[in-house]
Chain A
């Protein structure tokens, strides 16, 4: 059983800068087509494969990725 992860995004904090997207080692993150209240395309888990490394949360300037969980499903 591989380690898997999930991120919790506070959509309204996200400004869609994309820094998490390029720092994601498993390339699971994308910016949404929809926009949040401020008009930003927010980040979401677009694909399977998240390992819960929290790299995205660590580099997020706006602390929009508020929680990361990691474990075996």
Chain B
């Protein structure tokens, strides 16, 4: 057991951030939500802003985000998180305010709130988890579901003539004058996580610079909804999601 001699403070290369609670997450094995929660918690810890951060959780699988990151939280009605965040930030300009929303929440029922918050240039952070499916309700079509993708409400694959086209929210909000930073990231490899965490940190920093809204889409997996193993889901995402939802900064001003 030579190796166990390494276990001492000066050799610590990584530790679970104390900003993540000890609660075991309710997400399915391999779900990207957990990785994203961790990144957000680490950014809040690194920036030392636990006392100044307010998170808004959505309706969807991440409704319980408030059980996992040790900050003050509010749970929003479906799609309305950017409206809550608008008021919280305007009434408390020295707080860091972020929304955490899935594709059903942000890109379907909540399009009005997200467009207008971005267009007003609210100094908030919007984190948009796009896994192209409704996870919590059992795998129905989302606005971001790819053409041909099978879901429980598109059992023969999404068809544009029946179901319309997948919605690219990131490209839409990038066109709005109120956004300052719009980027699309992923969280499936160590490199992707490191890049994504950097983007999250930048977005949080922007929210105190009076520059406008920062919007981060994180292309994610829903292996349960996609009916794939966690590892295969990551591969499917790389092969099918990334060509349609290309990663990288769309806007940075």
Q: Which residues of A contact B (CB under 8 A)?
A: 4-6, 8, 10, 12-13, 15-19, 22-23, 38, 40, 50, 52-55, 57-63, 65-71, 73
Report the contact-size class of chain B (Cβ under 8 Å from the partner): 35 or more
Contact, CB under 8 Å: B231 / A13: no
Given contacts A54-B13, A67-B16, A69-B11, A61 and B34 within 8 Å (CB-CB): yes
Q: Which residues of B contact A (CB under 8 A)?
A: 2-8, 10-16, 20, 24-25, 27-35, 38, 187-190, 193-194, 229-231, 234
| CB neighbours of B230 from chain A (8 A) | 17-19
Residue among B6, B31, B34, B187 making CB contact with A70, cutoff 8 Å: B6
Q: Taking CB as reference atom, which chain A residue is nearest B192?
A: A59
| CB neighbours of A70 from chain B (8 A) | 6, 11, 13
Given contacts A4-B3, A15-B29, A71-B6, A66 and B15 within 8 Å (CB-CB): yes
Closest Cβ–Cβ distance, residue A9 to chain B (whole Å): 11
Contact, CB under 8 Å: A58 / B190: yes
Residue among B28, B38, B229 making CB contact with A18, cutoff 8 Å: B229
Residue among B3, B12, B30, B187 making CB contact with A73, cutoff 8 Å: B3
| CB neighbours of A18 from chain B (8 A) | 30, 229-231
Contact, CB under 8 Å: B2 / A73: yes
A61 to B8, CA, bound (A): 25
Q: Taking CB as reference atom, which chain B residue is nearest A13?
A: B24
23 pairs, CB–CB < 8 Å, chain A vs chain B: A4-B3, A4-B6, A6-B3, A16-B29, A17-B230, A18-B229, A19-B188, A19-B234, A22-B231, A38-B24, A54-B13, A55-B190, A59-B189, A61-B35, A62-B24, A62-B27, A62-B34, A63-B16, A68-B14, A69-B11, A69-B12, A71-B10, A73-B2
